[in-house]
């Protein structure tokens, strides 16, 4: 596991990318190890569980979210609600868009030639829905990106803000280099009255393990 952590790409102050073939238990162990380094505590004191929607929860003052696609593991951590998604940029998903996206988004997709257009919308939507804890089970017509799109013009912004359910989320996209093009998105809840920065809390490295003791259901 140590070699994977050493090879982790830090995409931003709250986002990491790891490359390899990971099963679910190993993904959880890697996420806990990254969280332990961020918090300055022992990894064996951290446990990652999932709710009925599959949303991961860490027994620490940190919002954590994961996305895994064929060897790409995206790990996001912040001190406010967040979601992440990573997808390959390939294929024609017009049928999927018609089933899942809003009419305005579908009209925009049909009007442009942008290789990552579908993936950009999909990752942005899924990241926001994961940040709310809802997930994509109820569909992806919302959040609707149509107000940000212009027919015939590509949407290549690396970041934007979007309102979903009366809450503002800051969205960031990152193109990933490698043998196949991929796109990562992260959505971070914006607080209306104060800007929240990562790691405003403190957890000294000399502190005792946070969370349950060894053997108390640690994943």
Q: What is the CATH number of domain 85-190?
A: 3.90.470
Per-residue pLDDT at 191:
64
Q: Do domains 2-82 and 85-190 have the same CATH topology?
A: yes
How far is CA 137 from its chain centroid?
17
Residue ranges per structural domain of the chain: 2-82, 85-190
Which CATH architecture is the domain 2-82 placed in?
A: Alpha-Beta Complex (3.90)
59-80: average pLDDT: 93
Which pair of structure tokens corresponds to residue 174?
Answer: 């990152």
Closest among 65, 59, 6 to 31, alpha carbons compared: 65
Q: Is the pTM of this model over 0.85?
A: no
Per-residue pLDDT at 123:
97
Decide: 48 and 32 in contact? Cβ < 8 Å: yes
Question: Which residues does 57 contact at the CB level (< 8 Å), separation at least 6?
Answer: 48, 49, 50, 51, 64
Per-residue pLDDT at 137:
80
147-166: average pLDDT: 95
How far is Cα 127 from Cα 66, in angstroms, rounded to an integer?
A: 10
Question: Which residues does 88 contact at the CB level (< 8 Å), separation at least 6?
Answer: 69, 70, 119, 180, 181, 182
What count of Cα atoms within 13 Å lies in the side-chain half-sphere of residue 155? 21
At 95-130, the pLDDT tens digits run 999 999 999 999 999 999 999 999 999 999 999 999
């Amino acid at each position: 596991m140590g070699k994977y952590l050493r090879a982790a790409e830090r995409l931003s102050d709250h986002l990491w990318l790891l490359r390899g073939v990971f099963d679910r238990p190993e993904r959880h162990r890697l996420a806990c190890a990254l969280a332990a380094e961020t918090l300055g505590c022992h990894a064996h004191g951290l446990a990652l569980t999932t709710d009925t929607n599959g949303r991961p929860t860490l027994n620490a003052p940190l919002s954590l979210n994961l996305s895994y696609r064929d060897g790409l593991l995206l790990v996001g951590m912040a001190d406010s609600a967040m979601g992440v998604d990573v997808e390959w940029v390939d294929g024609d998903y017009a049928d999927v868009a018609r089933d899942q996206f809003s009419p305005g988004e579908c009209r925009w997709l049909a009007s442009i030639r942008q290789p990552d257009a579908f993936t950009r919308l999909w990752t942005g939507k899924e990241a926001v829905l994961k940040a709310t804890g809802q997930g994509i089970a109820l569909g992806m017509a919302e959040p609707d990106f149509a107000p940000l799109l212009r027919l015939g013009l590509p949407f290549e912004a690396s970041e934007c803000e979007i309102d979903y359910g009366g809450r503002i989320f800051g969205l960031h996209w990152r193109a990933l280099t490698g043998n196949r093009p991929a796109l990562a998105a992260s959505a971070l809840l914006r607080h209306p009255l104060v800007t929240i920065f990562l790691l405003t809390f403190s957890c000294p490295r000399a502190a005792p393990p946070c969370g349950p003791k060894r053997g108390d259901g640690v994943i």
